Amino acid sequence: MSAVRWALALGWPTPLFLPVLLAAGLALAAVGPVIERLLRPIYDRDESFQLLLTFALVLMFEDVIRFVWGTAPHQLGNVYLAYGQVRVGALTVPTYNLIVIACSAGIAAGMGWFLARTRFGRIVRATAENREMAAAMGVDMTRVYARVFTLGVALGTVGGALVIPATAAVNEMGIELIVEAFAVVVIGGLGSMRGAFAGALVVGVVKAVAIATWPEVEMLAIYVIVIAVLVLRPAGLFARATA
Amino acid sequence: MTALLEATDVRKSYGDTLALDGVSLRVDAGEFVSIIGPNGAGKTTLVNVLTGLTPPSSGRVRFKGTDVAGVGPARLARLGMARSFQLVTIFPALSVADTLAVAALSRLRRSTRPFAALSRDADVRAAVDEVAALFGLHDKLERAACTLPQGDKKLLDVASAFALRPDVILMDEPTSGVSTADKTTIMQTLVHAAQRMGVRAIVQVEHDMDIVFGYSDRIVALHQGRVLADATPDAIRADADVVRAVLGIATTQGRTQPGRA
Amino acid sequence: MIVRALGLIAGAALVLLPLAGVPYTTTLLLPAFGYAVALLGLNLLFGSTGLLSFGHALFIALGGYTAAALTGRFGVRSLELVLLAAALVAALVAVPIGLLCVRYVKIYFGMLTLAFGMLFYSFLYKFYALTGGDEGMRVLRPMLLGRPLEHLDTVAYLTGPFYYYALGVLVVAALVMRRLVGSPFGLSLRSIRENAAKAESLGIGVRRCRLAAFVVAAVFGAIGGVLLVVPTGLADPLLAYWTHSGNLVFMLLLGGFDHFLGPVLGALVFILLQDSVMSLTSYWRFVFGAILAVIVIFFPRGLMGLLDARRAAAS
C-alpha cells in the first residue's frame, strides 16, 4: 500500500509510445528494493510509524523529482490522441482510455493469476495470513518482502505512467494521488486485490458522478464514503478474515 | 440471603459454537470457589460473562442483587467486582506505584479529576503503600512494571485488582506461569490480602489441583459448557464423573489444609 | 538537571528576543508559538493516551477560520473573544467526530482522523461562497486585551505586543497541560494507553476518557490555529491538508512525546530548522523528509528523549 502511494509520483516517463511508457514504468520500479531496505527496521513498530516514514519518503521523492526534472509540469499532449477515437454508442471516447482500461484489466487479471497459480504467489498469500508460520516453514521473509514491495512499486510506477498522457505530470501528483490511493485501499479493504479493484472503481465512479452533478462535492463525497466504510466495515468492503 | 454473585441459566454461543449451556452458579459471602474443567470447557467464557466483559446470549447474572449481564467491566469494577487475567496484564511503562494508584483512584472515585495534583493526594499514597506492603512490592514502587520479574508482574496484576477493595474478586489462573515453589507463597499472599482488604468472596479458575483442593470451600467443575458438579472438595473427589472428565485417571490424594480463606 | 537549565535559558531567550531588534527572527517564531499550543494538545492525545491523530490540522484550520470569520465578517476584534469562540467551536466539532473516532485505535484511528481532516479541507476548498475557496479568508488584526493598537504598524505590532501575547497564551496553555498531565485524569489516560482492557477492568471509562482527551486536544489545536493566522492575516484551506497534519506529527516526534513540553521544543526547532534549511537549499523537502525518516527509525523519542536518557530507558 505504501509503495503505491509515492510510487505514483515516480510515474514520469520520458518516452512517447505506449509500450515504451510501460517499459519506463517498469524500469523505475528498480527503486523498490532500495526503499524496502529503508522501511525494514520499522516493520514491527506501530503502523502509524510506517505511515510517517512513508510521508517522509514522499517529501524526499518530491524533491528528487524536482531535482531531476525541474518544477514545471510536463505534458505529453500529442500522444493522447495518437490512437484516435472510438464511437461507443452516443459517446466519443479516446482510444487511449480504452487501452488503459484494457491494460488495467489485464494487469489485474495477471496479478490474480500470479497470486493464485504461481509458487511465489502462494508464498505471498501464506505470508500474509501468518507471518510466523511461513517463516517457520522456511520461507525467506526478507526476500519475500523485498519482492512484494518491488512488485507494489512496479504497479505504482506503471500506473502512473499510464495516467500521464491524459493529465500533466506535476510535482504534487504524488501527494494528491496518495490521498486517493488511501481512499481506494480503505474502501476496498487492506489486503484484498479484489478490494483494491473495487475501491478504485468506486472512487473513480464517485468522482465522475460528482463532477457531473455537484462539482463542489467531488472530494467531499470520497471522504464521506471513506469515513462511512471505516465506521461500518472497518476492514473494507472485501475484508479478509485476518485484517 | 441474597447471593453475592449469582449466574442463572447462562448460555453463551459464538456463532454455531455453544460455549456455555445453561450454567448456574452462586457465590455467597465468605466463600472461596474454584472453577475447574478441561480446556474448552467454558471456564474463561464463564469468567468473562461474570465480569461483564461478554454479554450472555441468555440467562441472568446478578451481582449484589443487581442485574449486571453485559454491563461492562468498568461499571462492574465500580460496583465492587475485580478481576485478574490469565495472561499477565500490566501497564508496561507505568511504575508499580502508578499502577496501584490507578486502582486506588478508581475506588476513591477520583479517576477523572483533571486539575488535582496526583502527587499531593495523600489518600492515594496511603492506599498504594498499604497494598504494596501486603503484596511485598513496597520496595519496588518506583520501578516500571515491565522491568519486574515475571512473578512480581503477576503479583502486581492481582494486587491492582485487590487495590479496588472489591467485594468479590475473580482470578483467572492466578498461579499459572509461576514456579511450583512460588505458588504457595502467592496463594498465602492472596488469602491474607483478601482478609485485610475486606474482600468478601474469591472465585478462581485454576488448573493446579493441589491449589484447588487446598484452598476452596467449594469447587465447580465445568465440562463442555455445563456444570458437571458443584460441591465441597471432598464430595468432588468422590464424584467419579468429575474425576474422569476433569481430573484425569490419576487423581490427586488429599492434602492437609495449609490455610483457608 | 540539564533539561531544567536549558529550559530556563531557552525561556529567557524567548522573552528577551523582541528586544534584540531582529524582527525577522521574532516574527519567525510566532507560528512556532501557535504550533506549540496545538501540539501540547496533540501530545495529550498521543503521548498520554496513545492515539495518533493524522487530522489534527483540522482543528487548527477550524481555529483559523473562526478567527477570520469573527474579525473579517462579524467585526469582532477582541482576540480574547476570538480565542474563546475558537475553543467553543472546536469543542462542539470535536465531540461528534471524537465519538466516532475513539471507538477505534491505532491505524484505524489515524486513518479516520486523516479522512476527517481531508473532508474539512475539501469543504474549505470547494465551498467558495462560504469559505473563500483556495483564496482563503482574511484575518484582520485583533485587539489585544481591549487595546486596538492602531498606531503600530504590522511589524511593530507583531514583534511587540502580539509576540508577548502569544507567548503568554503558550505559557498559560503549558501550565494547564502540566496540571492535566499530572492529574488523576492524566494517569487514567496513560493507563488506557498502556493497556486499555486492564484500565477498564479497574473501573476506568475508557471511551469517555479518550473522548475528553480528543476534545481537549481539539481546543488546544484551535487556539493554536488562531495564533497562527493572525501574523499572516490569512486563513486558507491548506491549513487542513493532510500534509499539515503530517508536519504536526513530525514536530511532535522531533521534540519528543514522552515529556509534555517535548512538542513545544519540537515546534521551535522545526520552525527554526525549516527557515535555515529553506534559505540554504530549495530542496528543503528532501532534507526534511530525511530528518523525519531518521527520527522515525532511530530516534522515535525525539530530542527530549535524547536529553533525558533515563526516562527513555525506563519506558
Residue C184 with chain B: CB contacts under 8 Å: 105, 110-113, 116, 118, 121
pLDDT at B261: 37
The residue-averaged pLDDT of A218-225 equals 77
Going by C-alpha positions, the residue among C66, C96, C99 that lies closest to residue C228 is C66
User: Does any CB of chain C come closer than 8 Å to the CB of residue B90?
Assistant: yes
pLDDT at A27: 64
Closest Cα in chain B, distance from residue C177 (Å): 9
Judged by CB atoms closer than 8 Å, whether chains meet at A48 and C112 is answered as no
∠C100-C102-C103 over CA atoms, to 5°? 75
pLDDT at C173: 93
Quick one: closest CA in A to C130, which residue? A216
With cell 524533491, the residue in question is A63
- Rounded to two decimals, the ipTM of the complex is 0.82
Judged by CB atoms closer than 8 Å, whether chains meet at B106 and C203 is answered as yes
User: Does any CB of chain B come closer than 8 Å to the CB of residue C300?
Assistant: no
pLDDT at C214: 94
Going by C-alpha positions, the residue among C178, C147, C182, C177 that lies closest to residue C161 is C147
User: Does any CB of chain C come closer than 8 Å to the CB of residue B120?
Assistant: no
Quick one: closest CA in C to A189, which residue? C108
For residue A82, CA distances in Å to A16, A17, A97, A106, B206 come to 10, 9, 12, 22, 77
User: Does any CB of chain C come closer than 8 Å to the CB of residue A49?
Assistant: yes
Judged by CB atoms closer than 8 Å, whether chains meet at C185 and B112 is answered as yes
| Cα distance between residue C106 and residue B30, in whole Å | 43
User: Does any CB of chain C come closer than 8 Å to the CB of residue A62?
Assistant: yes
**Strands lying side by side in the sheet with B58-63:** B17-27, B5-14, B58-63, B66-67
pLDDT at A87: 64
Quick one: closest CA in C to A64, which residue? C286
Write down the domain spans for chain B.
5-247
User: Does any CB of chain C come closer than 8 Å to the CB of residue B116?
Assistant: yes
For chain B, percent of residues with pLDDT exceeding 90: 4
Does the pLDDT value for residue B259 go beyond 50?
A: no
pLDDT at B138: 86
The amino acid at C111: M
User: Which of the pair, A16 or A200, is modelled with greater confidence?
Assistant: A200
| Cα distance between residue C46 and residue C210, in whole Å | 11
Q: Where are the beta strands (DSSP E) in B28-115?
A: 32-36, 58-63, 66-67, 81-84
Q: What is the pLDDT of residues A181-213, one digit of tens each?
A: 777 777 777 666 677 777 777 777 877 777 777
The amino acid at C224: G
Quick one: closest CA in A to C242, which residue? A179
Judged by CB atoms closer than 8 Å, whether chains meet at C195 and B89 is answered as yes
β-partners of residue B229 are: B221
| Cα distance between residue A223 and residue C115, in whole Å | 6
| Cα distance between residue B130 and residue B113, in whole Å | 23
Going by C-alpha positions, the residue among A197, A27, A18, A196 that lies closest to residue A105 is A197
With cell 508499580, the residue in question is B96
Write down the domain spans for chain A.
2-169, 172-243
pLDDT at B258: 38
pLDDT at A242: 40
| Cα distance between residue C90 and residue C95, in whole Å | 9
Residue C203 with chain B: CB contacts under 8 Å: 74, 77-78, 103, 106-107, 111, 164
Going by C-alpha positions, the residue among B108, B140, B77 that lies closest to residue C199 is B77
pTM (predicted TM-score): 0.83
Size of interface B-C (CB pairs under 8 A): 110
Q: Where are the beta strands (DSSP E) in chain C?
A: 137-138, 234-235
Report the CATH number of the B5-247 domain.
Answer: 3.40.50.300
| Cα distance between residue A243 and residue A1, in whole Å | 14
- Give partners of C (≥3 CB pairs < 8 A): A, B
Confidence of residue A13 (pLDDT cuts 50, 70, 90): very low
Q: What is the pLDDT of residues B96-134, one digit of tens each?
A: 999 999 998 888 888 788 888 887 888 888 888 889 888
The residue ranges of chain C whose pLDDT is under 50 are 310-315
pLDDT at B251: 43
The shortest CB-CB distance from C286 to any of A63, A215, A216 is to A63
Whether C and A touch (3+ CB pairs < 8 Å), yes or no = yes
For chain A, percent of residues with pLDDT exceeding 90: 0
